[in-house]
Amino acid sequence: MNASNIAVLQREKARRRPGAGIGKAMTTPGQIVSLVVLVLPLLVALYMSFTDWTPTRGSLFQASFVGFDNYSDLLIYDTRFLQAVLRTLLISVICLALEFSFGLGLAVLFMREFRGKSLLFSAFLTPMMILPVVVGYIFWMLFQSNGPINQMLEFVFGAKAAVEWFRSAPFAVTAVIITEVWHWTPLFFLILLSGLNSIPENPVRAAVILGASPGQIFWRVVLPMLKPVIIVAFVIRSMEIIKLFDEVFMLTRGGPGSSTETISLYIYKLAFNDFQLAYGAAAAFLVLLGSLVLVHLMLAPVRDQLLDGGR
Amino acid sequence: MQRKPLTLVQTILMAMALMVVLFPIFWIVMTSIKPPTDWNASPAIWVPSKPTFVNFKTLFDPDAIREYGVGGVSQSATKAVLGSVLASVVSTCISVIIGLFSAIGISRYANGSKATPLIILSGRMFPPAAIAVPFVIMFSALNLIDSYSGLIAIYVAVTLPFSTWMLKSFVDDLPREVEEAAMLDGRSRIMAHLTVTIPLIKGGLFATSMFVFILNWSEFMFALVLSYSNISTIPVQLAKYVTATAGTLYGVQAALAVLAMLPLVIVGYFIQSHLARGMTFGAIKQ
């Protein structure tokens, strides 16, 4: 039986199910909104990416069609774009590794019993509730040359330890990473802790009876059972960090030079500072393609859990 | 698992982590109550000797802010605060109402194919800078640029996946039998949903609304590219202060930052047990 036959049968079945009409009516508004406000702009952007349109040249539909020129320019000649991609990947990998380690460590500490646990739990979640722009602004203040971070460095390592954080590329990137890790470690902590709490006790008890050491229990029993939760956390965070914009905008605006420019910041500058809208749209589709592949690879083992809402 | 108490080393680690987490928040709150002479002092002043609320007053006083105004920052934050409230509240209400119907529809009548959620997830991956481009073009044609209705339309669309999927996970938790019982009593399907389903998930409805509110209130890029002179939101205003007067407006900016984060932190504590569910599209429940 081919695919269209199956589709027809499924449609028949849906029609026969009681209340199918109501279900359709209920989901329609959401579908219309998504279609008009998300899919339509995407199609416009896709069309635009194959033209040489800029706002100074009149309407989009008068622009000439240039095929894949924008795409090949980006991939072959645009070192600033390629650097932004690599930089975003580098920042993402470092941030995710640090956020995961700190988050897991903290979550393991919370498996112990201590006083004031619920208060501390709330305190540790606070950073992720603060809006990214404000987080960026807070750390912009902290990293000022006469700010508290340099003050502490001088106090611990002597007067020469102060750093001009936003004047050199490696330090500026470090500042971005520190900001991002502070902001989003709580999300890993939250997700991993809820994973740890839902681990069944019997396998752990069995391991204890069989004489496993606490280390063995953690690495061989607990961690494998956490795997789906860990993947969900990584997927969710990668999807967000690949779009990293707000914090960098507030901290460095991509500077010094373009040394902290992320993909989103570069596309933003292309579109809204240089008005190279078509070129920016092409860059965005390359990024979309790349992140689709990445996320779907990561998602493969837990797709059903994520998409069915944990049923 | 048996719950053991913390060891000494673990207690110290925990205390250090707590300091790292709280220090930036401490710093922004302290800066917001520093008098102007303390704003940019070298070495930096940690706790102001004469705390004051003058920065918060300056923020809403156009004359006072003009005195500091360098490079065109003569705007008080009144419009930005009102704009943020308007855009976030209205778009949250619309997003949650549409999301609620979609959630019931998907959960109870399995509408939409397996691919729908994948498409939604893929939409989340698209760099917003690029979605903003066609929006600007379409909105200038429709005269929606620099208007709250345009901003609200985008916010609704962007948060709809979150409200739908989070609400769906709450509806999934509810056994179908409760609605079927109501229908046996002679109520129609729609009445059963309105009078049984929705009241039973009102906790989830509240959590979802608050979560979507956090997303809308935090949004920055769309507001940045779609606002010129008519509209403003708090994040945009904060960014404007930084560009125009880097280094001179510390205390006032900090006051605005505190005002921006305060409602989110309060709301966040209220719904903290549902945060994981919201962030993961309902995949992880607590």
Q: What is the 3-state secondary structure (H, E, C) of chain A?
A: CCHHHHHHHHHHHHHHCCCHHHHHHHHHHHHHHHHHHHHHHHHHHHHHCCECCCHHHCCHHHCCECCCHHHHHHHHHCHHHHHHHHHHHHHHHHHHHHHHHHHHHHHHHCCCECCCHHHHHHHHHHHHHCCHHHHHHHHHHHCCCCCHHHHHHHHHHCHHHCCCCCCCHHHHHHHHHHHHHHHHHHHHHHHHHHHHHCCCHHHHHHHHHCCCCHHHHHHHHHHHHHHHHHHHHHHHHHHHHCCCCHHHHHHCCCCCCCCCCCHHHHHHHHHHCCCCHHHHHHHHHHHHHHHHHHHHHHHHHHHHHHHCCCC
Distances in Å between the alpha carbon of A73 and those of A81, A97, A123?
10, 33, 48
Distance from CA of A41 to the nearest CA of B (A): 5
CATH of B87-228, one of 3.40.50.300, 1.10.3720.10, 1.10.10.10, 3.40.50.720: 1.10.3720.10
Q: Is residue A166 situated within a structural domain?
A: yes
Cβ-Cβ contacts under 8 Å, A281 against chain B: 130, 133-134
- pLDDT value at residue B245: 47
Mean pLDDT of B49-68: 81
Nearest to A130 among B123, B250, B261 (CB): B261
Amino acid in the structure at residue B12: I
Reference A198, options B168, B280, B285, B166; nearest CA is: B285
Q: Is residue A55 situated within a structural domain?
A: no
CA B30 remoteness from chain centre = 23
Mean pLDDT of B75-92: 91
Confidence of residue A8 (pLDDT cuts 50, 70, 90): low
- With a cut of 60, say whether residue B29 has pLDDT above it: yes
- pLDDT value at residue A309: 46
- For A194, the domain range is 77-307
Put simply, whether B205 touches A (Cβ < 8 Å) is: no
CA-to-CA distance for B88 and B65, rounded, in angstroms? 26
- pLDDT value at residue A96: 96
A59-96 confidence digits (pLDDT tens):
777 777 888 888 988 888 889 999 999 999 999 999 99
Which of A137, A291, A294 is most worth mutating to test chain B (most B CB atoms within 10 A of its CB)?
A137
Interface of B with A in 244-263 (CB under 8 A): 250, 253-254, 257, 260-261
Across the interface, whether the CB atoms of B125 and A194 are under 8 A apart is answered no
Q: Is residue A6 situated within a structural domain?
A: no
A156-208 confidence digits (pLDDT tens):
988 788 888 988 999 999 999 999 999 999 999 999 999 998 888 888 888 88
- With a cut of 70, say whether residue A2 has pLDDT above it: no
Across the interface, whether the CB atoms of A305 and B122 are under 8 A apart is answered no
Nearest to B275 among A48, A140, A190 (CB): A190
- Domain residue limits, chain B: 87-228
B111-165 confidence digits (pLDDT tens):
555 556 666 666 676 677 777 888 887 888 788 888 999 999 999 988 888 898 8
CA B174 remoteness from chain centre = 27
B190-209 confidence digits (pLDDT tens):
888 888 888 999 999 999 99
CA-to-CA distance for B70 and A52, rounded, in angstroms? 38
Distance from CA of A54 to the nearest CA of B (A): 11
Give the percent of chain A with pLDDT over 90: 31
The top-scoring range by mean pLDDT among A19-28, A53-62, A131-140, A279-288 is A131-140
A255: CATH: 1.10.3720.10
- pLDDT value at residue B59: 83
Distance from CA of A33 to the nearest CA of B (A): 6
- With a cut of 80, say whether residue B69 has pLDDT above it: no
Across the interface, whether the CB atoms of A307 and B27 are under 8 A apart is answered no
Distances in Å between the alpha carbon of B258 and those of A30, A45, A59, B29, B239?
35, 37, 43, 6, 14
Mean pLDDT of B73-88: 85
Put simply, whether A223 touches B (Cβ < 8 Å) is: no
Query: Which of A48-62, A116-130, B253-267 is least confident?
Result: A48-62
Distance from CA of B125 to the nearest CA of A (A): 6
Cβ-Cβ contacts under 8 Å, A124 against chain B: 17-18, 21
Across the interface, whether the CB atoms of A249 and B172 are under 8 A apart is answered no
Confidence of residue B71 (pLDDT cuts 50, 70, 90): very low
Nearest to B275 among A123, A125, A199 (CB): A125
Size of interface A-B (CB pairs under 8 A): 317
B217-264 confidence digits (pLDDT tens):
999 999 998 888 888 899 998 887 765 444 467 888 899 999 999 999
Which bin fits B281, alpha (ψ -120 to 50), beta or left (φ > 0)?
Answer: left
A201-260 confidence digits (pLDDT tens):
888 888 888 888 888 888 888 888 888 889 888 888 888 888 899 999 999 888 788 899
**B256: closest chain A residue by CA:** A134
User: Considering its fold, how many domains does chain A have in total?
Assistant: 1
Distances in Å between the alpha carbon of A288 and those of A84, A104, A284, A292, B70?
14, 30, 6, 6, 40
Put simply, whether A291 touches B (Cβ < 8 Å) is: yes
Confidence of residue A30 (pLDDT cuts 50, 70, 90): confident
Average model confidence (pLDDT) across chain B: 84
**A186: closest chain B residue by CA:** B21
